[in-house]
């Protein structure tokens, strides 16, 4: 078995055909404590959390009630932290109808529905940082909630999706772990999102972008997914993929019906199918590929 390096630089495809195909061939129920490498430390940390069920926040009064600190100002947001939330028939934390700032951080969540759910929240009011949402249907879900920060969370073993952005443009999704979900991350109808430094592994699908233009996707690690590491579908135009690592998936990058993409310095290794697959790039004017790939012979 030999690994050879292929470096392709500044290959410009000027396409005027309606369909274009490129094949680049390569070759027992856990608990929250089980998601720590040191279970005794996890048990000790768990004991310091406040047990409770679903937190439902529909206005600023409820937001202040459930917060442990802060004033709700931009420089001093309310803080919802240190809860151990479990439920067999609800979300973990639901927020809608607020007008003040809040940081959701350092919570442990194991519920039947969405671990953290933002529904129609005004732009930029919420940051979601360093939470563990496991064994949920969806770990973190943003619906019609633009310009939010989702960072350093563990959203693993979800029956559906680890992190889901739905009609939530301009969000930043940084340094999260999505392991063992059916779909690690989904970005739908959410333009101008930045997805950087995430680990998405051991699922059926890695990351999926649909009808989401101008995404910036950088330095993500996607490995051991049954299907593609990353999928573009139905109009993810003008997006950039750079410095990502895709290994041991069925396909590295599966890009369908998306125009004017910049694909640069990504690594695709030991994938079962194609490293890069471009399909139905209708009236694509420019695709720039400057990729560094390791291909298994």
Mean pLDDT of all residues in 285-296:
52
Q: Has residue 25 got a pLDDT over 60?
A: no
Q: How confident is the model at residue 35 (pLDDT cuts 50, 70, 90)?
A: low
Question: Tokens in use for 192?
Answer: 């101008």
Q: How far is CA 136 from CA 8, 85, 149, 221, in A?
A: 41, 11, 20, 22
What would the pLDDT profile of 81-119 be if each residue is shown by its tens digit? 999 999 999 999 999 999 999 999 999 999 999 999 999
Considering the chain, what percentage of its residues have pLDDT values greater than 70?
78
Task: Supply the DSSP string of 121-167, one letter for each residue.
Answer: PPTT-EEEES-EEESSSEEEEEES--S-EEES-EEES-SSEEEEEES
Domains of the chain: 3-27+42-296 (2.160.20)
Q: How confident is the model at residue 272 (pLDDT cuts 50, 70, 90)?
A: confident
pLDDT of residue 290: 58
Q: Has residue 296 got a pLDDT over 90?
A: no
- Give 105's contacts (C-beta < 8 A, 6+ positions apart): 79, 80, 81, 127, 128, 129, 130, 131
Q: Has residue 16 got a pLDDT over 60?
A: no
Mean pLDDT of all residues in 247-273:
86
pLDDT of residue 33: 63
Q: How confident is the model at residue 242 (pLDDT cuts 50, 70, 90)?
A: very high
pLDDT of residue 201: 98
Mean pLDDT of all residues in 212-218:
98
Which has more confidence, 222 or 258?
222
pLDDT of residue 46: 63
């Amino acid at each position: 078995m030999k690994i050879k390096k292929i470096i392709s630089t500044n290959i410009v495809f000027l396409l005027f055909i309606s369909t274009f195909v490129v094949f680049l061939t390569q070759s027992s129920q856990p608990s929250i404590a089980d998601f720590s490498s040191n279970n005794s430390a996890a048990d000790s940390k768990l004991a310091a959390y406040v047990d409770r069920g679903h937190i439902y926040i529909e206005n600023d009064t409820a937001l202040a009630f459930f917060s442990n600190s802060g004033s709700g100002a931009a420089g001093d947001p309310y803080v919802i932290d240190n809860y151990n939330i479990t439920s067999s028939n609800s979300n973990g934390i639901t927020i809608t109808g607020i007008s003040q700032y809040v940081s959701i951080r350092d919570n442990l969540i194991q519920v039947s529905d969405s671990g953290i759910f933002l529904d129609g929240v005004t732009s930029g009011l919420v940051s979601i940082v360093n939470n563990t949402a496991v064994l949920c249907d969806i770990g973190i879900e943003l619906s019609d909630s633009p310009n939010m920060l989702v960072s350093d969370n563990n959203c693993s073993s979800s029956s559906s999706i680890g992190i889901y952005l739905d009609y939530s443009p301009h969000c930043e999704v940084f340094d999260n772990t999505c392991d063992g979900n059916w779909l690690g991350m989904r970005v739908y109808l959410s333009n101008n999102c930045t997805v950087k430094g995430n680990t998405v592994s051991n699922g059926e699908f890695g990351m999926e972008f649909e009808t989401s233009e101008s995404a910036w996707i950088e330095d993500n690690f996607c490995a051991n997914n049954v299907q593609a590491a990353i999928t573009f579908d139905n109009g993810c135009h003008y997006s950039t993929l750079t410095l990502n690592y895709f290994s041991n998936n069925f396909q590295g990058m599966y890009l369908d019906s998306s125009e004017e993409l910049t694909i640069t310095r990504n690594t695709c290794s030991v994938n079962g199918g194609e490293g890069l697959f471009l399909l139905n790039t209708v009236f694509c004017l420019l695709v720039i590929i400057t990729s560094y790939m390791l291909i298994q012979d």
